[in-house]
Amino acid sequence: MSLASDSPRLSRKRIVSCVMMNLVATPGLGSFLAHRRVAGIGQILLSIVGFLLLLDWFYQLVVVQYFGQIMGEVKIQPVGYIGLIGGGVFVASWLWSLATSISLLQEASHVAAKSLRSFGAKLIKLDEGRVGPALLALPAWQRAGDTISRTYQFKDFPAAMQFVNAIAAMAEEAQHHPDIDVRWNQVTLALTTHDVGGLTELDFAMARECDAQAQS
């Protein structure tokens, strides 16, 4: 596989955006945009039905009955069940979209590891003519001999550890492990392929995946 033909994988950032849409904006919208169309449409329809039922409950309770009582024209009728049903339907749509969101995040992790394993199928030490252009495509990474490294900075220690855990899981599945140094909110990763005694395409593929993970 040629380094020049490979572009940074952007799907992780897109998936995170879709998950945020599911959980914060409209349940199902993120699923639909992430090409889970059947689940997305189902979740959107459920959320719309639940929202309409809640609106109907509010209308019946406040507009019809409350103001009707003031005018002396309406008798009290039980409408609480409408709100309960509407709330239950909306929560069901949110929980369904949550399950889809978890599946999307897991899929992103597996895709990353599968991509890395494909580079590891034939490990060949890169010569200087290939290391230079590959490193130019990763300007934040520094080279020291047969190792490339980068330091990432996060807002606090928990954010740094969340990144470390994500990298550890991806590295374990891909069976290519960077050296990791943690200094509170800073994480330094160093990559080399010990089996061939130098840098390989796998190291640069892992570097791109680490960059994508840091941006998610």
Per residue in 195-207, pLDDT (tens digit) is 888 999 889 989 9
CB 157 within 8 A of CB 184: yes
Give 186's pLDDT tier (boundaries 50, 70, 90).
very high
CA 111 – CA 209 distance, rounded (Å): 10
CB 32 within 8 A of CB 100: no
Q: Which tokens hold the place of 28?
A: 């199902």
Instruction: Give per-residue pLDDT as tens, 89-141.
Output: 999 999 999 998 888 776 666 555 555 655 554 578 888 888 999 999 999 99
Instruction: Give per-residue pLDDT as tens, 151-182.
Output: 999 999 999 999 999 899 888 887 889 999 99
Sheet architecture: strand order including 186-191 = 142-144, 147-153, 186-191, 179-183
